[in-house]
């Protein structure tokens, strides 16, 4: 009987030592809210690389080919766009904008 009591006390002590939740495990608060907000989720991306990518995109926007600039001008003008569907953007640009002359 005495051996059973000692074994029970020893089992309770081992269980208390292994199942104790320390203060460090409570710091993360993941058990309360497992999801993080968007800003923290995207925090691993370096700010410099994002800014560099944005600036590279702006440089590409400034250095467009003349054909791309003509196409965008034609897309902004509805009659030119309709003409382009039938005859192509190059012909539509020449038809609507090619005859313009500056004084």
Does the pTM exceed 0.85? no
pLDDT exceeds 90 at position 86: yes
Residue 69 belongs to some domain of the structure: yes
Residue 79 above 60 pLDDT? Answer: yes
Per DSSP, the three-state class of 11 is: helix
pLDDT at 54: 72
Q: Does residue 98 belong to any structural domain of this protein?
A: yes
Given a cut of 60, whether residue 103 has pLDDT beyond it is no
Task: Say if CB 79 and CB 96 are below 8 A apart.
Answer: yes
Of 20-34, 54-68, 75-89, which has the strongest mean pLDDT? 75-89
Q: Give a yes or no: residue 42 inside a domain.
A: no
- Assess if residue 32 is contained within a domain: no
Tell whether 14 is covered by a domain: no
How far is residue 50 CA from its own chain's centroid? 10
User: How many domains, in total, are found in the chain?
Assistant: 1
Neighbours of 84 (CB within 10 A): 20
> Has residue 74 been placed in a domain?
yes
Residue 11 lies in a domain: no
- Which structural domain range is residue 91 located in? 65-102
Phi-psi region of 47 (alpha: psi -120 to 50; beta: other; left: phi over 0): alpha
Nearest to 97 by CA among 74, 72, 64, 63: 74
């Amino acid at each position: 009987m005495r051996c059973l009591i000692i074994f029970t006390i020893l089992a309770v002590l081992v269980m208390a030592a292994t199942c104790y939740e320390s203060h460090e495990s409570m710091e993360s608060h993941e058990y309360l809210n497992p999801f993080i907000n968007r800003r923290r989720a995207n925090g691993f991306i370096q700010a410099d690389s994002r800014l560099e990518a944005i600036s590279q995109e702006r440089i590409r926007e400034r250095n467009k080919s003349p054909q791309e600039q003509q196409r965008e001008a034609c897309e902004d003008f509805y009659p030119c766009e309709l003409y382009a569907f039938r005859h192509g953007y190059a012909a539509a640009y020449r038809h609507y904008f090619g005859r313009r002359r500056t004084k």
